[in-house]
Amino acid sequence: MINSKEIESLHVESDELYQVLSIEGDSLINLPQNMDSHLMLEMYKKMVSCREFDEKAMKLQRQGRLGTYASFKGQEASQVGSSIALEFSDWMFPTYRDHAATHTHGQKWSTIFLYWMGHIDGSICPEGKKILPPSVPIATQLLHAVGTAWADKLKGEENVSIVYFGDGATSEGDFHEALNFSGVFQTPTVFFCQNNQFAISVPFEKQSASKTIKQRAHAYDMKGVRIDGNDIFAVYLTVKEAVDRARNGGGPTLIEAVTTRYGSHTTADDSKKYRNQEKIEKDWPTTQDPIPRLEKYLRKNHLLDKETEDEMKREIKKEIDEALSIAENYPKATTKQMFEHVYAVNTATIKKQEEEFLHLLGEER
């Protein structure tokens, strides 16, 4: 357990961003014991790996090797820092932009590639894991994380359910229904909002008259926290505290991690149309990019040297190249597979449609 008193005093009841790691890479608090060098290096490695994946995916998309792709660049600290605070069997409900989180929680890069390549096997998670497919309808997945957490509570199991969503999602009814249900039934759910300040083209100030997303927690009598989402220490410590609280019967938490969507909404979008993208690209590397921030800390504290870093980057590159190769050599989905898993046992209608179509194609059944 972390020293929650210390953290609480810093960020509760304030609209200010809770920050632990300064932009210069200095820690603003005495870090709790569980934040050891091993964990910090793991955080760094995961963030670098996620960045590498994301940049690779953008290139592949331009080459026509992936379909439309949603980049999470800029949000690595939020996603890695939050998911690294989970236990193996915790439930995770992501959106289309949260594959840095799903990967950190155990999803394979090769499967994530498959998803963006439009393969039907792209949403299968590793055996024993509870990582659900990315939710496409905005905010709907929040309620699922209430339900799984509720079932765990009723069964006396200690899992926590974490759900990811954006600032735009907080305007949907399902966001409010989920917070309300979670409050009423005191479910062990962590609501993790990445306020990347844009929902496609709409900035948060047009999304809502609320100053913060955190303040919505107050309405549901839930703990709400607003943190610097580019500060992986703040993210980790806050989520760890929320997860521990949930696991110990203390109920849900709403976390607003303020971060930046570095690029366009997806590869099908052009952010120049609605925001000053040039300025973001100019300022972001020195003020908001979460990776150099942690790197500075690690270097100042002699936890990372050039040699370790080069070795790490080589490893990561290899890992992602291998994942891509697995995905690109993965067996093509068959027409027959297209008809599978609509029901536990498919209906006569589906069977007939399948048979007739396969017959027409002249394929083996």
Partner 1 sequence: MTQEKLTMLQAINQTLDQVLETKEEVMLLGEDIGKNGGVFRATEGLFEKYGGDRVVDTPLAESGIIGSSIGLALNGKIPIVEIQFLAFIYPGFEQLVSHAARMRYRTRGQFSVPFVIRTPYGAGIRGPELHSESVESFFVQTPGLKVVAPSTPHDAKGLLISAIEDPDPVIFLEDTKLYRAFKEEVPQEMYRIPIGKANVVKEGEDLSIIAWGGMVREAMKAADKLEKSKGWKCEVIDLRSISPLDEETIIHSVKKTGRAMVVHEAHKTGGLGGEITAIINENALIYLKAPVKRVAGFDIPVPSFTLEDQYLPNALRIEQGINETITF
Residues marked active site are found at 261, 265, 274
Pick from ligand TPP, partner 1, none: which does 145 bind, CB < 5 to 8 A by kind?
partner 1
Q: Which stretch binds partner 1 (CB under 8 A): 147-155, 276-284, 292-300, 306-314?
A: 147-155
Integer CA distances (angstroms), 25 to 21, 114, 141, 289, 301, in order: 6, 36, 35, 12, 10
Rounded Cα distance between 229 and 288, Å, is 9
The Cα angle at residue 39 between residues 9 and 253, in degrees rounded to 5: 40
- Out of ligand TPP, partner 1, none, what residue 168 binds, judged by CB under 5 to 8 A for its kind, is ligand TPP
Among 25, 133, 250, 292, interactor with partner 1 by CB under 8 A? 133
**With binding defined as CB under 8 A, does residue 123 bind partner 1?**
yes
Quote the tokens at residue 287: 């003020």
- The reply to whether 158 sits near partner 1 by the rule CB under 8 A is no
Q: How remote is the C-alpha of 288 from its chain's centroid? A: 18
End-to-end Cα spacing for the chain: 56
Amino acid (1-letter code) at residue 39: L
| Binds partner 1 by CB under 8 A, chosen from 347, 355, 361, 363 | 347
- Told to check if 140 binds partner 1 by CB under 8 A, we report yes
CB 151 to partner 1: min, Å: 4
Q: Which residue is nearest to ligand TPP (CB)?
A: 166
Q: Does 143 bind partner 1 (CB under 8 A)?
A: yes
Site for partner 1 in 32-91 (CB under 8 A): 91
Question: Length of the chain in residues, anyone?
Answer: 365
Distances (CA, A) of 69 to 107, 150, 154, 278: 17, 33, 38, 21
Which three-class secondary structure state does DSSP give residue 18?
strand
**2 contact choice in partner 1, ligand TPP, none (CB below 5 to 8 Å, kind-dependent):** none
Q: Specify the DSSP class assigned to residue 262.
A: -
Euclidean distance between CA atoms 280 and 33, whole angstroms: 36
Interaction mask 166-185, partner 1, x per CB under 8 A: -------xx--xx-xx--x-
Position among 10, 41, 125, 326 found at the interface with partner 1 (CB under 8 A): 125
Residue 169 or 237 with smaller CB distance to ligand TPP: 169
- Is the Cβ–Cβ distance between 231 and 20 less than 8 Å? yes
Q: Which residues bind ligand TPP (CB under 6 A)?
A: 97, 136-138, 165-169, 196, 198-200, 261, 265
* Lookup: tokens for 321: 């190249």
What is the spatial distance between Cα 363 and Cα 235, in angstroms, rounded to a whole number?
52
Nearer to partner 1, 173 or 331 (CB): 173
Q: Kindly list the residues in this chain that would bind partner 1 in the complex (CB under 8 A).
A: 91, 120-121, 123-125, 132-133, 135-137, 140, 142-152, 154-155, 161, 173-174, 177-178, 180-181, 184, 340-344, 347-350
